[in-house]
Structure 1
Amino acid sequence: MKKYWSFCLFFAIAVAGICFQTYGQNNFWTLKGKVLESGKIPLEFVNVYVNNTSIGTTTKVDGSFTLEVPKTLQKVEVVVSFIGYKTLKKILSPVEMSKPLVFILESTNLLNEVKVTAKRDKNWRKKWRIFKDGLLGESIFTSDCEILNPEVVSLEYNKDKNVVATASEPIFIQNNALGYKIMFQMDSFVSDGNLTFFAGGKFFEELKPKDERQKNRWKKYRVRAYHNSFRNFLVMLSQNKLEESGFEIFQEDKVKQIYYGRTTVSKELKDSVLFKSSAKAICSYDSLRNTYILYSKRPLLVFLTNHFTPVPIFADYPYKFSQIVLSHGNIEFSPNGWVTKPNGMILRDYWGSEGFSNLLPDDYTGENIIDYNDTPENLVNTLRPENEKKYWFVNGKISGDNGLPIEGVKVFINNSETGTLTNNEGRFTLKIPNTIQQLELVSTAPKFYTAKEILNAGENNGLVEITLKPDNVSIADENTKESSKQWKMFQKALLGDPNDLLGKTQFPESCVILNPEVVHFAYSDNKNLLATANKPLVIDNNALGYKITYQLNKFEHNFKEALISGDKFFEKLTPTDEKQELLWKKNQLKIYQESLRYFLQSLSQKKLKENGFAVFKMIKILDRYDASVTVKSQLADSSLIACTDTELCKFDPETNRFYLHSDYPLLVFLTNRTEAVRLTFKDYPYKRSQIVLPNYYLEFTADGTITNYKNAEMRDFWGNEGLSGSLPNDFVLNENNIDKLSFDAVEQLEVKSIKIDSTNKFLTNGIQFNRKPIEIAEEKSGTKLLLDYNIKINQNDTDYTIYDLLRKIPGLIVRGNPVDGGYFIGFSGAQSFKGGSLPAAFSIDNYFTDDPQIINSLLGTLNVRDVESIGAIKYGNGAFYGARGGNGVIVITTKK
């Protein structure tokens, strides 16, 4: 079971005040006073500030100070701090704000007690990491935060082995992402590395931006920090605007430390584990004190529906979320979202990670309101810095293992037309669009092995140094000729077969492999045809106008279909005349309009129907098609569920990414492609594909470029691609002077909505920020399933191993791995290599898991004599487990 671990944060927030209605023309209180030492001598340069705000000043020569405090604050906590003196705090009511203030500071011996040591103990680094992580928190801004004076912090272990921190002076924290320098007068800090408590006064000083661009960046990042914050949630709660602001709230039956398996919110609602809630049901307003009360005897679960999480626990709600535990049943807060009476509230998960890196002063007013219903372009402009770079660069140098630079090396981004050659110093530069955040850099040259590097945007500012190893393998004898049958089989599989009615539009007859002599054939132990190439293949595609450099990584053919992988670089050919150029453009348009990338682009633009796509959720993966059924009948019995682009696609302005999301496999029809397709539905004779999302989502950019596959599998149409029908990933469609192809229209079926039954069941010093996220465990289910295969274990079977018994299941591959000693166990699929590429899940006595390591561990300890039966669910009923059962489920029942 995978465990997700992070630090917990217990954060005591000092009272910041509550809002009230102003009665005067002036919108500010003017606080005036003096700071004296015990002998009534004025003190100069003393820090005087309103706690947790950016309102502050220093005293003058006569010890006097003046503060302008907004009248929206009915109570404020004034902090007076000076090195060598004890810090004073005073809470002021409106009546006291109009009176002169006098603070008398007493000296302290703290400075005399500080011991300076030249050598830190051996555990100092560990203690400092615990202190720093606990103080700064965990956010996208943490890396831009710095503790400026770590030397003032002393770290020790107490008797419980907790880290205790003290500071001889205020701690200064500079947040270069939000543009603040924070003075933190720390009163206490205790942490065990998992649970942290700290308290103290905070004063925010705005940094001076170096230019207009940095000023805009700070402004936009503050907006982002505010709109994702717990404070903004409270503001939207008080205004009853949770849904439009991207918050959805549920009550839980109890606090969750662990979720068993990736469950769904709909299942939790059905089982009365979750209860749908609303702002009115848990929030009330006290008009006398102008304060709000959030109350619930149950823990609250809040989803941030505008932001995806890379590790979704809820299949139908793959969003970031937080738990709110109201230790005493309620908290009080102001209309501005300032918590005035925390009552020991605990924040877990997303908000449990908030710290100084994400902290804004209490007088921050939220400069802009984000409308998440706005267009993606406007959302990104709101949240992203102005004039942000549209490109990033990869600079590198390629040398041989002797250290000498290699000239003329072809360096390119895999599956694209972005590439270059190294100069006489072995150097190269590539300009990468920001839409590509991760890439595979391929370097290839004659007489050298191909090298690959995975690069991420923002992590490669330095020189990328690549070393190529010489290829000393001799070229095969030119007189050795492989049979015509082998070559035809290889060529058809690599370039594509236009006779395959499930395949993409392809032009193998217009493709020429210019160097066939680099390909060599052999046979595997199970008589499959293998092909290798000691150099990249060079292929001219005269139908699309590209020259392709293809580095073959793997080729295996079972005489029914092939498993192929390789790296591609596309170079544009020069057309002989305008007629050929137009032909290339028309062919490119046809290929592009039936591509997965065009589907995703249409999805992001909410133009699926307009661009010729119809999408259905499938209760099970279709390993085989029954040509006698119809889509209409499948919709009637809920085997298929029609869905819209709005249901399937979500945009996250923080990451500037779109997310295709589904907890079930998807069936996509290309309704503009009326070519006959065998084994399909009678009323939908179109090309179609299946999309299987084991992790429930696929991340992509607005132009359809996939940025995170997360093991997504494309089957049928999009899973069957030859090089002759391939376009580079960075292909840009130029529609000038092109007559768009006309396709037959198709009647669209009405969307069948899924209704979730839910019920409302409600009951009526310091905040704890628990940064440890909910762990994911494996789900146990007592539900009985209909098995496709079932093997009853008898006495004669007890001499077999568990793996021998598993091999009795038809279509199941059980293959040992000599590297780690484990086993791959998966279904081969009907006439398919791809079906066996992903392992099956296991349910052992209703303990469900799809983790291969856990499966191997459990099987290794299982005694065959204890096994009562072994069953299998091949794809179909495996959808009971959601997408995790999409590769089939092995069900083992023991006698225990």
Structure 2
Amino acid sequence: MKKGLFILYLFFSTLIFSQVHVQGNVVSNTNEPLEGASVYFNNTTIGSITNSEGNFELKAKEGSYTLVVSFLGYKTKQLQVTSINNTQRINIKLEEEDNLLNEVVIKKIVYDDTWKYNLSQFKQAFLGRSKLASECKIINEKDIYFDYNPKTNTFKTFCKQPLQIKHQGLGYKITYDLAEFTLQNNQLFFSGYAKYENLKSFIKNKWRKNRLETFNGSQMHFLRSLLSQNLKKDGFVINQFKRVLNRDRPSEEKIQLARELFMLTSEPIDISKHIPNPITPLDSAIVVLQKAKLPKHRDYLYKRNVDYPEMFSTVNNTNYLDFNDYLMVIYTREIEEDNYLVGTFGKRKKASGVQTSYIVLLDGKSEIDPSGILINPNAVFNEGYWGFEAFANMLPLDYQPTKN
């Protein structure tokens, strides 16, 4: 989710390449060294803790990164760093956190049935409904506070402390500093900063298998495959379609007027009856509400097996995800999870035997990091299978699939 997230890889190669090598010092606003401050590249397993003098050092492969620095009682700070051949020295001064807001929020928290219900809603939206979501546990649930505005149908979540998540399915301990979480009219936006750590010093076979299955068919997999031009080899089929308003469905204004007429009518109404030729205003209202069940849009497929130049462009050695209308991304080597087929409201979909996702660019072309991650993840809206896969199905951006 959303996010300002940037990609990097583990630093292990002995080959000569451009690299990111960051050394630095973290101090308070009174210039006192902060020992034990957390310093990491966002959404990766690459991080460190400052020593008694406030010093740290990080190394990573070529790429663009967000460096995150956090310490209890101080405001989290983020800095952008990019690949250069020489060591970068960064001195960071943290400001003390204003505890007034936290104190106000804490006083409002009541762990009653409403809070428990809100927690379940938050976990379903944030962690998701996949099999892996059931293996994700938020350790510090009581640090979470919820706010719901019925007038705007807006559900927001705040956290007193970063979320501590134990992911038994993928084998990670994740510290997630939630910056924003808003669910409004079934549209979700969340953003934050994640630090991944392996739960154990060795990777269990279960975790290795789950990580590979999670990577396969993911957006990360798609983008890396797109840049290397291996889509067909990697099991992807890409089609292109247009989405237009469904003219057979009445406008929202007509639907609202029909509902208001129903409210003013005292006699029983059979909404299911067939009315080929409406005569009365009530007949017309019934037909309108019957057609209101039609989809708001219709999709028109106009191109199969889209060529690479029609999906991305390169300007000054920078790659962009760049296409018109919508892309249908079909991953043919894995089937849908049963939880996806059941759906949020229990209505079962027909299995297709493949994983199909739909993407649209929200603000023109979107830059792709050389390692295959969108520089701005908010530039693309996901539907279908990628829309189903939430935080529990996210891998750290330095993940590399194992080779047989």
- Scaled by the length of structure 2, the TM-score of the pair is 0.75
Cα distance in 2, alignment partners of residues 256 and 354 from structure 1: 27
CA 1:255/1:202 → structure 2, altered by over 3 Å: closer, same or farther? farther
Match for residue 379 of structure 2?
344
Match for residue 218 of structure 1?
207
2:332 is equivalent to residue 305 of structure 1: yes
Does the 8 A contact of 2:7 with 2:397 survive in 1?
no
Cα distance in 2, alignment partners of residues 235 and 120 from structure 1: 44
CA 1:182/1:235 → structure 2, altered by over 3 Å: closer, same or farther? same
Match for residue 163 of structure 1?
155
Does the 8 A contact of 1:51 with 1:203 survive in 2?
yes
Does the 8 A contact of 1:165 with 1:190 survive in 2?
yes
CA 1:323/1:284 → structure 2, altered by over 3 Å: closer, same or farther? closer
Cα distance in 2, alignment partners of residues 126 and 255 from structure 1: 37
Does the 8 A contact of 1:153 with 1:167 survive in 2?
yes
Higher helix share: 2
CA shift, 1:294, in A, is 2.0
What SS does the corresponding residue of 1:160 show, helix, strand or coil?
Answer: coil
CA 1:255/1:329 → structure 2, altered by over 3 Å: closer, same or farther? farther
Match for residue 310 of structure 2?
282
What SS does the corresponding residue of 2:80 show, helix, strand or coil?
Answer: strand
Does the 8 A contact of 1:37 with 1:106 survive in 2?
yes
Does the 8 A contact of 1:34 with 1:102 survive in 2?
yes
2:60 is equivalent to residue 69 of structure 1: yes
Does the 8 A contact of 2:174 with 2:196 survive in 1?
yes
Alignment length (residue pairs): 338
- Aligned pairs for 1:649-798 (under 5 A) are none
Match for residue 273 of structure 1?
301
- Scaled by the length of structure 1, the TM-score of the pair is 0.35
Amino acid at match of 2:4: A
More contact order relative to length (CA 8 Å, sep ≥ 6)? 2
- Aligned pairs for 1:313-324 (under 5 A) are 318-324=353-359
Cα distance in 2, alignment partners of residues 118 and 233 from structure 1: 42
2:190 is equivalent to residue 198 of structure 1: yes
Amino acid at match of 2:83: P
What SS does the corresponding residue of 1:34 show, helix, strand or coil?
Answer: strand
Cα distance in 2, alignment partners of residues 242 and 141 from structure 1: 26
CA shift, 1:272, in A, is 5.8
Amino acid at match of 2:356: F
Match for residue 719 of structure 1?
none
Match for residue 144 of structure 1?
135
- Aligned pairs for 1:288-687 (under 5 A) are 288-289=316-317, 291-309=318-336, 318-342=353-377, 344-368=379-403
What SS does the corresponding residue of 2:208 show, helix, strand or coil?
Answer: helix
What SS does the corresponding residue of 1:196 show, helix, strand or coil?
Answer: strand
Match for residue 87 of structure 1?
76
Does the 8 A contact of 1:255 with 1:299 survive in 2?
no
Does the 8 A contact of 1:174 with 1:180 survive in 2?
yes
CA shift, 1:26, in A, is 6.4
CA shift, 1:228, in A, is 2.5
CA 1:219/1:250 → structure 2, altered by over 3 Å: closer, same or farther? same
Q: Deviations over 1:405-457 (max 9, x none)?
A: xxxxxxxxxxxxxxxxxxxxxxxxxxxxxxxxxxxxxxxxxxxxxxxxxxxxx
Cα distance in 2, alignment partners of residues 104 and 131 from structure 1: 34
What SS does the corresponding residue of 2:379 show, helix, strand or coil?
Answer: coil
CA shift, 1:84, in A, is 0.9
Cα distance in 1, alignment partners of residues 14 and 48 from structure 2: 26
Amino acid at match of 2:6: A
Match for residue 40 of structure 2?
49
CA 1:201/1:350 → structure 2, altered by over 3 Å: closer, same or farther? same
What SS does the corresponding residue of 1:67 show, helix, strand or coil?
Answer: strand
Query: Comparing 242-251 with 48-57, which one deviates more in the overlay?
Result: 242-251
CA shift, 1:295, in A, is 1.8
Cα distance in 1, alignment partners of residues 135 and 300 from structure 2: 43
Cα distance in 2, alignment partners of residues 69 and 107 from structure 1: 29
2:179 is equivalent to residue 187 of structure 1: yes
CA shift, 1:126, in A, is 2.6
CA 1:255/1:196 → structure 2, altered by over 3 Å: closer, same or farther? farther
Q: Deviations over 1:219-265 (max 9, x none)?
A: 111111111211101111222222222211111121799xx9xxxxx
What SS does the corresponding residue of 2:355 show, helix, strand or coil?
Answer: strand
Cα distance in 2, alignment partners of residues 156 and 272 from structure 1: 40
Choose which of 247, 267, 274 in structure 1 pairs with 2:236: 247
Q: Identity of aligned pairs, percent?
A: 29
Q: Deviations over 1:687-706 (max 9, x none)?
A: xxxxxxxxxxxxxxxxxxxx
CA 1:15/1:279 → structure 2, altered by over 3 Å: closer, same or farther? farther
Does the 8 A contact of 1:145 with 1:174 survive in 2?
yes
What SS does the corresponding residue of 2:221 show, helix, strand or coil?
Answer: helix
Root-mean-square deviation (CA), in Å? 3.0
CA 1:17/1:224 → structure 2, altered by over 3 Å: closer, same or farther? closer
Amino acid at match of 2:322: Y
CA shift, 1:108, in A, is 1.3
What SS does the corresponding residue of 1:249 show, helix, strand or coil?
Answer: strand
Amino acid at match of 1:321: T
Amino acid at match of 1:333: I
CA 1:318/1:218 → structure 2, altered by over 3 Å: closer, same or farther? closer
Match for residue 14 of structure 1?
4
Cα distance in 2, alignment partners of residues 342 and 118 from structure 1: 32
Cα distance in 2, alignment partners of residues 278 and 314 from structure 1: 26
Does the 8 A contact of 2:21 with 2:88 survive in 1?
no
CA shift, 1:325, in A, is 1.1
Cα distance in 2, alignment partners of residues 284 and 105 from structure 1: 40
CA 1:26/1:122 → structure 2, altered by over 3 Å: closer, same or farther? same
What SS does the corresponding residue of 1:115 show, helix, strand or coil?
Answer: helix
- Aligned pairs for 1:796-811 (under 5 A) are none
Choose which of 154, 175, 199 in structure 1 pairs with 2:145: 154
Which one has the largest radius of gyration?
1
Cα distance in 2, alignment partners of residues 320 and 121 from structure 1: 39
Cα distance in 2, alignment partners of residues 130 and 208 from structure 1: 30
Q: Deviations over 1:294-315 (max 9, x none)?
A: 2222111111222334659789
What SS does the corresponding residue of 2:243 show, helix, strand or coil?
Answer: coil
CA 1:279/1:171 → structure 2, altered by over 3 Å: closer, same or farther? farther
